[in-house]
Amino acid sequence: MLPKVDVSAYKTHVTHETNTLPFEMKAACNMPSRLLNNLAFFGKILLVSAFIGMIIAALRQNGAFQWGNVFEGALSGVLIGLGCTLTDLLSRSSRRDSFVRRFPVAVVVLLRATAFSFFIVVGLTLPFWLISGVLQWQQPGFKTLFFISVLIAAIISIVVEITRLLGKEATLSLVTGRYRVARQEDRVVLIADLVGSTALAERIGDLRFHEFLGDVAQDLSASIENASGDVHRYVGDAVIVTWRSQETKVCDASLTCAQDMHRALEDAAAGYIADFGSAPQLRIAIHCGPLAAGEIGDWKKEIALLGDTMNTTARIEHAAGEFGAKIAVSSDFADLLSEPVRANLVALPGYAANGKSERLALFGIK
């Protein structure tokens, strides 16, 4: 049984303790995890790239099979995969630090395609020169291979930008037709809303506030990606993130995502104060349940998520504001958490939400 506390005690608890013990403990626990996730990501890229390079090298052999050529192909794949991945990661760095994100989309696509082409050429030539002393650019057919590589790089760059515009899930779903006909899915829904954004927008103006929101969205992206969440959409100064599962590990990850989002903005607070005179603060709600998911629109399509689960999550976010909680979760969601994670929750008073016949049972973080 989770302990209950009165509202005033909880407000004091959140204000003074949430920034110390829980978040610092989470930071200490998640630093190795984040490092392992990054290493695992690069490991997968290298393995896949090496495998593709080996296959291509094996297929290009004329005559007897030679392992030396296969090794050269693997090294070529690793160089291309690693170079293109690093280019993509650099272009996704903080808006505040990345000059690339200030350029128009067409320029970004061109720059990325140019960088991809460079690493493709290096990957196609350097291993063979180092191992066999062969100068690939002097070989027959290299010009054709080069132009094909540039075309592939341009296509990949365009696909990457479209995926970022629509989101990974939406892009894949629109291509595969998964939501051509609406279907019901059980999802975890997280809504993160900026606190005090209206006053800030009035003070700094719409254009600067738009830049402020862009920086916040960029700073939150790593937390969402590390938790394998999908950004459903940005609504004003709020972001809606979902997970297409209600497994315990997914629920644990979504709560970790909420804590990481707070910590990411706390770590960047000094930069926001210097740039905008104010640091962003979030209020986050998490709930789970069935949603109707399907395509809506003709000339402009999007994947719409409809249902009581989305409405209830919005009401929980309002409840978090009334209780002074940085994070508030529903009892349905809390019941799906693992026991160690659930032990860090504390019960909030029942919340009488508009349109609900019964009070919502909610929990915050100790």
Q: What is the pLDDT of residue 354?
A: 80
CB 6 within 8 A of CB 232: no
User: How many other CB atoms sit within 10 Å of the CB of residue 1?
Assistant: 4
Tens-digit pLDDT profile for residues 303-325: 889 999 999 999 999 999 999 99
How far is CA 300 from its chain centroid?
Answer: 23
CB 279 within 8 A of CB 269: yes
Q: Which residue has the higher pLDDT, 65 or 167?
A: 167
Tens-digit pLDDT profile for residues 247-295: 999 999 999 999 999 999 999 999 999 999 999 999 999 999 999 998 8
- From residue 197, alpha-carbon distances to 106, 192, 272, 280 in Å are 31, 13, 13, 8
> Which sign, positive or negative, has the C-alpha torsion 112, 113, 116, 118?
negative
CATH of domain 178-365: 3.30.70.1230
Q: Which of 39-43, 154-158, 196-200 has the lowest mean pLDDT?
A: 39-43
Q: Which residue has the higher pLDDT, 304 or 169?
A: 304
Tens-digit pLDDT profile for residues 112-138: 778 877 887 788 778 777 777 767 666
Extents of the domains making up the chain: 41-166, 178-365
